[in-house]
Homo-oligomer: A and B are copies of this chain.
């Protein structure tokens, strides 16, 4: 099966946004053994769009469109596919109800042009949009499978994960089972991964092995195909053991949950609460934990102590300590973690202080970071030395915080259990 990904939208051709969907979809399709031979981007012009669709349909079996499903008359994807395939556009009740509900929730009524988003191609299977209004769909004609997805990545990605991939798996493989395992690593660079796993990646057959880096975290997805579930499981386990024998010290977990979700889970499981004192990270740790629903059980709050006055007046760091050691110091980090633990009456206090840049601070270069984790009987200070932009340093500091919290909670669990 060979596929072509067609992005629709003049904003892409003007360079106003990057087409990140093409790479994302290609990577997903590759895991199903589908070859992608072309990416195309075309604007909201009816004639050029139609010409692009017609020539793509001559080349590929599977056409995946991204974008052009919105409410304006510039959104032409469905209309063009309808024209080329001859499938009429009809209103889909379920989609219309979803759109009406979306508006009702905001106390608004649906505008006329938004009703256009409830149009689907007759005979198509519909993928609901759980993060926006335009539904996705799949239509089969004689020679070609037509798939249409919304353009915004935050709508497209969950739709691909939750609906399109299971759908394609069902379509493509009737007997063969596909199984995946995700291994998660932190504090290891991409080139280090390449170095350590090069031969495995080069010679991959079944399972396949796909590393995916994002902001300091690395996921490695192992995917196995085969009729026999037991054999599949054995092959996955074997490859996992091989990978961990090489880079096990950077491993922190398996499955869909990321660092912050695992921290949340472990805190909840051990019935502990945490509070944060954030200078360098300016609230990012708190925001990271509270972005999970149910965070209130483990995280009652924190203090963003950007200035020394707040460190002193709200978190009771003695002026003398600040004068002697500076705010960018292990001593300050330790005191912040201890005091926020007491102030918020929690089990664990965590603190971050350091230099986010671009300018040096107290004689330290950007990237100098001190982090502390305080429990009733022990406070650990962890110094870090990071490179990168302001946002980068802050983001990675929070991840180091989660990583070390996990290690501490893990040790505790082993001791207790």
Number of interface residues of A (CB under 8 A): 95
A22 CB contacts on chain B under 8 angstroms: 12, 15, 18-19, 41
Interface presence of A286 (CB below 8 A): yes
Name the CB-closest residue of B to A202.
B73
B113 touches A194 (CB 8 A): yes
- Give Cα A195 to B214, complex, Å: 38
Task: Tell me, rounded to whole Å, the shortest Cβ–Cβ distance linking A32 to chain B.
Answer: 12
Q: A39-B13, A300-B310, A304-B303 are in contact. Are A390 and B293 (CB under 8 A)?
A: yes
Interface presence of A332 (CB below 8 A): no
- Give Cα A391 to B287, complex, Å: 10
Task: Tell me, rounded to whole Å, the shortest Cβ–Cβ distance linking A382 to chain B.
Answer: 16
A307 touches B296 (CB 8 A): yes
Among residues 109 to 165 in chain A, which have CB atoms less than 8 Å away from a CB atom of chain B?
Answer: 111, 113-114, 131
- Give Cα A12 to B71, complex, Å: 31
Which one of B14, B23, B307 contacts A36 once the chains associate, using CB atoms below 8 Å? B14
Task: Tell me, rounded to whole Å, the shortest Cβ–Cβ distance linking A341 to chain B.
Answer: 13
Name the CB-closest residue of B to A16.
B212
A16 touches B12 (CB 8 A): no
B107 touches A72 (CB 8 A): no
Q: A39-B40, A39-B41 are in contact. Are A291 and B301 (CB under 8 A)?
A: no
Subset of 19 A-B contacts with CB under 8 Å:
A15-B30, A16-B210, A18-B22, A19-B19, A19-B22, A38-B48, A39-B39, A105-B367, A111-B195, A282-B290, A283-B283, A283-B302, A291-B391, A293-B358, A296-B306, A300-B307, A301-B314, A310-B344, A314-B343
Please give me the 6 A-B residue pairs with the lowest Cβ-Cβ distance, nearest first.
A282-B290, A15-B27, A283-B286, A15-B26, A283-B283, A300-B307
